[in-house]
């Protein structure tokens, strides 16, 4: 088996045993990127020289018998919204096209401390707002299984590079399904940890009460390996949970006998593709053979998840993105052109005798703010800023934002009640397999409804994982989602790992 087709766990073991060197592993993935990423376009930045130098340093330290980190020599791709000192961090936006981060995000710092080889930065929907990676200012990522289809989003590049064997591990973010949905579309494993399990320090924020950093990989075992490095308390993040981190990789082999799985029947009803529903039912049968019990449960307020999410998330986005004023950093329009435009408007009004109107014309500074934000942000980001600003505005705050927060509490209450009956909740990750590129760009509501089964875990702050469970009739992956109570990542990973021990969906890969 070639290096690029091996799991991260196997590659790490081989490097530790001395049967393969980190430089060779790194070069193999760089070669795959060079050969195939012109089509997939999963990466925005790849620094081959820096990656090979980092891998060579690991080899030298290993040869010298020096202690090494838990990911020593493993290539890791990083979604391009985690600040990395001295590197561009664009968030897929023209607004930050030339922004160079002055410090490392905690997740990046932990990867470096674990001696991971950061191989590149992956494409994404602008500021993580999207479900198809079509909203990037720097081009669209395609699905490695079929270039005519979307890889999902917003972590589409992070999922596509793993599916295309261009990185064994990648780091994404999940605000409403942005790890799990692309993992499902690309046939890989992706986890959103509990809110607060992984530090958000250095993550460029979309919606601060929903964003969470998490791993994508081929297998649950690889996912556990990466999460072990990322997880943990960080005093630089006020929302970081000060709780011990389990040894995720050590609990994977525990049998599932006695595990209680809950199925929300509404998640297998209208709106769910028949092939997705059938694959989910087959997965449930696998779990029953492994010793788990299945029972129906209800999440009555989950039907309001999309409406609740698309009030809260845009509201937080409009607040977070207000900082991009083109003064301290970020895209700035042509100031000379703006000054000339303002002058011409005033002179035209004065010539027409409209002195009051002339005094009302924007100042050069205000016009620069407006024009820079208009040119720097893409259409989807503007849409969400406007939605959020409206929901937060005087006269509408109580009717929209405050009410959404109350429904969010009811959604969490539903989960709490369900987890008194079951250990995990299981169902499809998405209602359909990957849709075609361009298919939903002109219908935002249809795009948003694709997150129907994922947004509620973010609203409730719960951990959830997507793993491959089938292929559609046209050869596209189908994802199975497991959700757990807060900080029960070990339970999720164990259930995912045992499913992958009994099936081979996670071993299938596309022919690029």
Handedness of CA 496, 502, 505, 508 (dihedral sign): positive
Q: Which residue in 223, 107, 212 sits closest to 493, CA to CA?
A: 223
The active-site residue out of 42, 154, 170, 315 is 154
3-state DSSP assignment of residue 193: coil
Could you give the CA distance from residue 407 to residue 401 in angstroms, rounded to a whole number? 10
How far is Cα 75 from Cα 441, in angstroms, rounded to an integer?
A: 33
Q: Among residues 42, 79, 94, 165, which one is catalytic?
A: 79
Strand order in the sheet with 212-217: 43-45, 117-122, 75-79, 169-174, 212-217, 189-192, 464-471, 477-483, 424-428, 260-264, 293-297
**Token pair recorded at residue 163:** 């599916």
Is 406 catalytic? The answer is no
Give catalytic status of residue 170 as yes or no: no
Q: Give all strands (DSSP E) within 206-362, no chain letters.
A: 212-217, 260-264, 293-297
Distance of CA 5 to the CA centre of its chain: 23
CB under 8 Å to 262, separation ≥6 — which residues?
A: 295, 296, 297, 418, 421, 422, 424, 425, 426
Q: At CA 442, angle to CA 440 and CA 446, rounded to 5? A: 45
**DSSP letters for 216-254:** EESSHHHHHHHHHHHBS--TT-TT----PPP-GGGSTT-
Asked if 262 and 422 count as a contact pair (C-beta separation under 8 A), the reply is: yes
Count other C-beta atoms under 10 Å from residue 379's C-beta.
Answer: 11
Residue 295: exposed, middle, or buried by beta-carbon count in 10 A (0-12, 13-18, 19+)? exposed
Extended strands (E) in 354-484: 424-428, 464-471, 477-483
C-beta separation of 190 from 470 below 8 A: no
Residue 336 bears catalytic tag: no
- Which tokens sit at 243? 């709780």
- 207/385 Cα distance (integer angstroms): 11
How long a stretch of residues is the chain? 512
CA–CA distance, 197 with 182 (Å, rounded to integer): 21
Q: Is 14 exposed, middle or buried (0-12, 13-18, 19+ CB in 10 A)?
A: middle
Considering the candidates 42, 165, 178, 302, report the single residue annotated as catalytic. Answer: 178
Comparing CA positions, the residue from 292, 471, 462 lying closest to residue 480 is 471
Separation between Cα atoms, residue 103 and residue 208, nearest integer Å:
20
**Radius of gyration for the chain, computed over Cα atoms and rounded to the nearest angstrom:** 23
DSSP 143: B
| 488/158 Cα distance (integer angstroms) | 24
CA distance linking residue 450 with residue 291, whole number of Å: 32
Q: Give the catalytic positions in this structure.
A: 79, 154, 178
């Amino acid at each position: 088996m070639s290096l690029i087709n091996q799991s991260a766990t196997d590659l790490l073991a081989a490097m530790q045993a001395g049967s393969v060197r980190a430089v060779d592993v790194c070069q193999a993935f760089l070669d795959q990127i060079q050969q195939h990423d012109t089509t997939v376009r999963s990466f925005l930045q790849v620094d081959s020289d820096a990656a090979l130098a980092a891998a060579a340093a690991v080899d030298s330290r290993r040869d010298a018998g020096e202690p090494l980190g838990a990911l020593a020599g493993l290539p890791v791709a990083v979604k391009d919204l985690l600040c990395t000192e001295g590197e561009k961090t664009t968030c897929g936006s023209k607004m930050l096209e030339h922004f160079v981060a002055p410090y490392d995000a905690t997740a990046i710092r932990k990867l470096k401390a674990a001696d991971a080889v950061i191989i590149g930065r992956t494409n994404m929907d602008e500021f993580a707002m999207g479900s198809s990676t079509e909203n990037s200012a720097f081009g669209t990522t395609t699905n490695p299984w079929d270039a005519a289809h979307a890889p999902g989003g917003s972590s589409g590049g992070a999922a596509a590079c793993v599916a295309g064997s261009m990185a064994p591990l990648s780091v994404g973010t999940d605000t409403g399904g942005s790890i799990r949905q692309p993992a499902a579309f690309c046939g890989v494993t992706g986890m959103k940890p509990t809110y607060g399990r992984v530090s958000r320090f250095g993550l460029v924020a979309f919606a601060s009460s929903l964003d969470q950093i998490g791993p994508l990989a081929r297998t649950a075992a690889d996912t556990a390996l990466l999460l072990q490095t990322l997880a943990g308390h960080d005093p630089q993040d006020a929302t970081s949970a000060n709780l011990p981190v389990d040894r995720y990789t050590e609990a994977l082999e525990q049998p599932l006998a006695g595990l209680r799985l809950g199925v929300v029947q509404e998640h297998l009803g209208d709106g769910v593709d028949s092939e997705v529903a059938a694959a989910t039912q087959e997965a449930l049968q696998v779990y029953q053979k492994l010793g788990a019990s299945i029972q129906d449960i209800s999440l009555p307020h989950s039907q309001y998840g999309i409406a609740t999410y698309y009030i809260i998330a845009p509201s937080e986005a409009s607040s977070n993105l207000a900082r991009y004023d083109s003064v301290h950093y970020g895209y700035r329009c042509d100031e000379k052109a703006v000054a000339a435009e303002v002058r011409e408007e005033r002179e035209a009004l004065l010539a027409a005798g409209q002195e009051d109107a002339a005094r009302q014309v924007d100042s050069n500074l205000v016009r620069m703010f407006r024009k820079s934000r208009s040119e720097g942000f893409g259409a989807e980001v503007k849409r969400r800023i406007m939605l959020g600003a409206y929901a937060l505005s005087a006269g509408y705050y109580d009717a929209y934002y405050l009410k959404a927060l109350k429904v969010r509490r009811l959604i969490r209450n539903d989960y709490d009640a369900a987890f008194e009956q079951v250990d995990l909740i299981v169902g499809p990750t998405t209602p359909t397999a990957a849709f075609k590129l361009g298919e939903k760009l002109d219908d935002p509501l249809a795009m948003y409804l694709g997150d129907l089964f994922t947004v509620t875990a973010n609203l409730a702050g719960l951990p959830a994982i997507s793993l491959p469970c089938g292929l559609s009739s046209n050869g596209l992956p189908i994802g199975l989602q497991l959700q757990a109570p807060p900080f029960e990542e070990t339970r999720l990973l164990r259930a995912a790992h045992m499913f992958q021990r009994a099936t081979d969906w996670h071993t299938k890969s596309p022919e690029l």
